[in-house]
Chains A and B, each alone.
Chain A
Amino acid sequence: MMELNNVLGFPILTWSIFLPTLGAIIIWLFVRGESAVRWTALAVSVLTFLLTLLLWIYFDNGTAHMQFEEFHPWITAFNVNYRLGVDGISMPFILLTSLLTVVCIVSAWDCIKTRVKEYMLAFLILETTLIGVFAALDGILFYFFWEAMLIPMFLIIGVWGGKNRVYATIKFFLYTLGGSVLMLVALLAMYFKAGHTFDLQALMAYPFNFEWQFWIWIGFFIAFAVKVPMWPLHTWLPDAHTEAPTAGSVILAGILLKMGAYGFLRFSLPICPDASQYFVPLMVVLSLIAVVYISLVAMMQSDMKRLIAYSSIAHMGFVTLGTFMFTQQALEGAIFGMISHGFVAAALFLCVGVLYDRMHTREIGAYGGVVNVMPKFAAVMMLFCMANVALPGASAFIAEIMVLAGTFSADQLYEMVISSKWVAVAAATSVVLSACYTLWMYKRVVFGDLVKPEVKAMPDMSWRELGFFAPLMVLVLWLGLYPMPVLNVIHVSVANLVEQATSTKLHAAHALAQAEMLQQTVLR
């Protein structure tokens, strides 16, 4: 039994993971009546959020080691263990998940009218799998949560989604499953190579030679690139986002996309540093395509949700770009960008949800002059649109400037075909392009003359709606003006990751191969 680093002395991660499921089981068995179901689900999600706050309070910023560790043998026959722990990279995502789940449950309060109970159950179980993904330190445990997430998400889009929901949800399911199976192959292959272990830290430490790293990296890449999603594997996302119910889109944009980028940080970079460096040109090109091309695509959308979905892909392009620059600044910017995008994209989808609840259409052309009847809403949406454009003062600005600066200064680290300065310049076009599509949409929806009679009849936001926007507004502004609470948490872990990702495993792999050869010669 290893030493477990857990300052709290009680299994807080297990509780955070399974409290939502426990709540779901209680709701399923004992709670009757829609109102009671809503309140219980809210109570469970708030309780989970408060529990995960403890992680943040007791988190030790000064170390890159895993914290709040837990270890139990799970399947001894294959050395699969129930091993949990968080570091500065994963901990913020757990908080983000538990917070957005609360927001989702509140946002669904009135607009979900059918099968309320199943809806709440699906969201609580989804929360379990998402927190599990971010807390797992065993490859198979990670895969287990990663795949289990498909079941509730499939049902959320399929049951409560829009007109074309069946197509969208099946496409989402098959894309993600198809991507993930290759990750399973990579995990199983590593298991036998690295001495029968799925332990993430053991795999990070094991010196794979370049050929192994190459194929493992590809296996992981497909799984993560589908999830992020990166061009050209992104086509499931606009459909899924558009057809999902509002809260489903919030979780998709807020958390699910981050799982892919988190996978790069947790698996690809530390386990295959040499392959990661080798594939930098590929990642840079794909990221730039996401930033530039997808932004242009976003501009042409007539459906608000579709537009925000494409904008998410573009922002995630920024994240993957920052991830593969291997500089402290760019990596911190990428992680910060994910957190920030979690708030901003979620809020934008909620804005669309607010409009959709009143008009039951997502067409931009159906609106116009909303500011005249919904001034409060117009102000809120203005804030988040500006945040999406990465205006200074909003959290996204910090992320974008860090990624750009980090990219700009990445040159000295290693050679690229073109200078990373030009990459930074190309990526900076996103500042203009995102302003184009976001503000143009805002203008067409909110401003203009109030001519349409349906729009005239729209009531402004209720207190409940303001209520779930409030924490997001506070966070976007707070992190935009003072990002240190998040940056402090991730700083040491990112420094450790930069060291892992920029070092090489090839010397150790070479030495290991020679040692094995020597051993065989001696045996013979």
Chain B
Amino acid sequence: MNPVNINMPVIAPLIPEMFVAVMAMVILIGDLFLAKEHKVWSGYLAILTCVVAGFLTFSMSPSHAVTAFYGLFVLDPFASYAKLLIYAGTALAIILSLDYIKDEFGVGEYYSLMLFGMLGMMIIVSSPNFVTMYLGLELMALCTYVLVGFQRDVLRSSEAALKYFILGSLATGILLYGISFLYGVTGSFDFASVGAGIAHSGSSGRLAVLLGMVLVIAGLAFKVSIAPFHMWTPDAYEGAPTPVTAYMSVAPKVAGLVILIRVLVDVMPSLHVEYVTIFTWLAVLTMAVGNLAAIAQRNIKRMLAYSTIGHVGFVMLGIIAGNADGYAGVLVYMTIYLFMNMGAFAVIVLMRRDGIQGELLDDFAGLSKVHPGYALAMGLYLFSLAGIPFLGGFWGKYVVFMAAIETGHLYLAITALLFSVVGAFYYIRVVKYIYFDDTRVEFNFVENRLMQATVAVTAIAVVGLGLYPGPLINICKAALGGII
């Protein structure tokens, strides 16, 4: 293809991105004309945007990779599937926000920030190029910084946002520094060209290549909370408004893991031995930090922050395996994680007490006597997060462990399984509060049909995927077409 002969760049693959961008701006402007009590309509519009974007992506999902903007943007089954997950994660987070955020200042901006953040993630998962990736990462990061600090009158929220912003900026700097090394050696930002350049760089550029690899991995590890780059996660999770915590716990992780896989597959295949070593130790550390530190937490949001770190540690087994089964395992895991984690957050948000929605573990005491329905759903999510069959979480672990064993990482798999037992402890401790203890505090539950539906749907999905995960696994395997 000779770009000189084409005046108009190919933009068809970007239709969902453009749609989301337009809708985010429409919501921003429309907000000016909405009275305070009608601002919830912005939220409904944002949910609708996610749904329509889902239809667009689904109907456009190509069987092979399609590029746009002269190779700066790629749409392949892998990106399409990741985008569907991102839409679902964002839409569920918006549903959780509808009631939570309605009394805050600037509701309209809130929903458009969520959509812009989602746009950033969509760009990330579709980037075949460091520049596109950086653009997406920054768009996502800036939106989340603001969202974390959205309750600006709450000290904790502002503090979390500031911490997240400073550490995030540092991580971005590290990432850019790494990219500059790789650019210096290979003279390109394009993943494939950088990869080819690294493979042929010889021993003279070896140090620069390794440095670049380490820094890029560190920068991306920050985004997906891989230890020891996880420090921001507990504070940001605890301080952020709960729906924002829910938002941050799934969709950006999907985007980060997907781009990590892309970078590893396209840029660093020749550095396979090196990055597997790095990731093996990072995975062990991440699982240890996530699962051990979670035990000490009394705040459910903080506990779930460490739980996210722990789950990222498990998912990394799929990345370390580095074959089709492993990468498919990452998608399977994140799909199931989406349902169980969003469901758990939905229950947390539904339990409102004195204006605070779901905070301490003690709040769950006796939930089964007050509201058996939510208790059952929460119990299912927690057992699923702990990875007990007949629930979805078991298969998430199963696929990544299997991939790890297939590729000879037996000791890593055993370590991960032992940490999953440690992890089971803090999940079943919450079940203990829910089922074994007596009620300690009064609840007044949020009455919101959409949120209750979310709980029902995610609970059914967790059970359904636990009983019959076959189709999901096949879909995820098919979604890898083109990248490996």
Contact = CB atoms under 8 A, between A and B. Distances in A.
Interface of A: 73-78, 140, 143-145, 147-148, 150-151, 154-155, 158-159, 165-166, 169-170, 173-174, 177-178, 181-182, 184-185, 188-189, 191-192
Q: Which of A74, A147, A151, A178 has the most CB of B within 10 A?
A: A151
Contacts of A192: 405-406
Given A75-B469, A174-B424, A188 B436 contact: no
Contacts of B469: 75
B105 to A, nearest CB: 44
A76 B474 CA distance: 8
B425 A170 contact: yes
Contact of B421 (A75, A154, A178, A191): A178
Contacts of B405: 185, 188-189, 192
A331 to B, nearest CB: 30
Interface stretch (B26-34, B123-131, B263-271, B410-418): B410-418
B428 A170 contact: yes
Interface stretch (B11-19, B69-77, B382-390): B382-390
A148 B414 contact: no
Given A75-B470, A143-B389, A154 B428 contact: yes
Given A77-B474, A150-B388, 9 more contacts: A76-B474, A77-B473, A78-B473, A144-B389, A165-B436, A173-B428, A185-B401, A185-B414, A192-B405
B394 interface: yes
B272 to A, nearest CB: 20
A119 to B, nearest CB: 12
Contacts of A75: 469-470, 473
Interface string B398-440: 1001100110001001100110110011001101100110000
A445 to B, nearest CB: 30
B102 interface: no
A24 B69 CA distance: 57
Contacts of B388: 147-148, 150-151, 177
B406 A182 contact: no
B431 A181 contact: no
B156 interface: no
Given A75-B470, A170-B432, A177-B424, A185 B389 contact: no
Contacts of B468: 74
A335 B206 CA distance: 65
Interface string B464-476: 0000111001100
A169 B428 CA distance: 10
Contact of B436 (A159, A173, A185, A191): A159
Contacts of A185: 401, 405, 410, 413-414, 417
26 contacts: A74-B468, A74-B470, A76-B474, A77-B474, A78-B402, A144-B394, A145-B389, A147-B394, A148-B390, A150-B388, A155-B431, A166-B436, A170-B425, A173-B428, A174-B424, A181-B418, A181-B420, A182-B414, A182-B417, A185-B410, A185-B413, A185-B417, A188-B402, A188-B413, A189-B405, A192-B406
Nearest to B414: A185
Q: Which of B405, B436, B468, B470 has the most CB of A within 10 A?
A: B436
A454 B114 CA distance: 68
Given A77-B470, A181-B418, A166 B389 contact: no
A158 B428 CA distance: 11
B353 interface: no
B477 interface: yes
B431 A154 contact: yes
Nearest to A117: B372
Q: Which of B394, B414, B428, B473 has the most CB of A within 10 A?
A: B428
Contacts of A165: 436
A425 B468 CA distance: 52
A155 B389 CA distance: 15
Nearest to B390: A148
Nearest to B416: A181
Nearest to A146: B389
A76 B470 CA distance: 6
B333 to A, nearest CB: 14
Q: Which of B389, B420, B473 has the most CB of A within 10 A?
A: B389
Contacts of A147: 388-389, 394
A184 B390 contact: no
Interface in B448-475: 468-470, 473-474
Nearest to B425: A174
A493 B390 CA distance: 31
B374 to A, nearest CB: 15
